[in-house]
């Protein structure tokens, strides 16, 4: 009996170490990927705006650029979703939502940041989806740069700047 209890304790200790390592790795990934996402998003926004202003055709390169933005945004979202449910900060806010609304840091992590990022990803997804439709090329570029701009504003408004490396 004592031997089994010791083994169970060691297994739980090992699982805790693995979970902490996974949390740290996901946290670093979630902190690094926005640099890449913001860079690609800004470049796609500029490229779409210039193409709209110059009345350029919507090419395969424009489509692939939008796809890269879409993929990066969704990868960031999945990483954020996992962190949302294992992070001590957000789980504290989720456990007592009333207290979280009174504390600006908890409110940011439990409500504001996730909500704004979901809305930004919705706009990025809509931009990609609408640019695949059979509409005029100038309208495709207009939709993309306007939706990308809205997404960029939403993202920049709720990045936790004080802890972002």
32-82 pLDDT per residue, tens? 999 999 999 999 999 999 999 999 999 999 999 999 999 999 999 999 999
- Please state, in angstroms and rounded to a whole number, the distance separating the CA atoms of residues 72 and 93: 27
In our burial notation (b when 16+ CB lie closer than 10 A, e otherwise), range 22-56 reads eeeebeeebeebbeebeebbeebbebbbebbeeee
Domain ranges within the chain, ordered by starting residue: 2-157
The model's pLDDT over 76-112, given as tens digits with 9 standing for 90+, comes to: 999 999 999 888 888 888 888 898 899 888 898 889 9
């Amino acid at each position: 009996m004592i031997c089994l209890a010791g083994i169970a304790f060691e297994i739980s200790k090992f699982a805790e170490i693995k979970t902490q390592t996974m949390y740290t790795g996901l946290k670093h990934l979630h902190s690094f990927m926005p640099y890449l996402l913001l860079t690609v998003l800004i470049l796609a926004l500029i490229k779409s705006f210039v193409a709209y202003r110059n009345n350029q055709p919507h090419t395969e390169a424009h489509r692939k650029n939008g796809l890269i933005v879409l993929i990066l945004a969704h990868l960031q979202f999945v990483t954020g979703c996992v962190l949302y449910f294992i992070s001590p900060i957000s789980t504290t806010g989720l456990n007592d939502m009333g207290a979280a609304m009174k504390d600006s840091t908890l409110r940011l992590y439990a409500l504001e940041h996730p909500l704004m990022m979901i809305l930004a990803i919705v706009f990025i997804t809509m931009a990609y989806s609408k640019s695949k439709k059979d509409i005029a090329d100038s309208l495709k570029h207009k939709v993309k740069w306007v939706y990308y701009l809205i997404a960029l504003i939403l993202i920049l408004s709720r990045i936790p700047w004080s802890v972002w490396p």
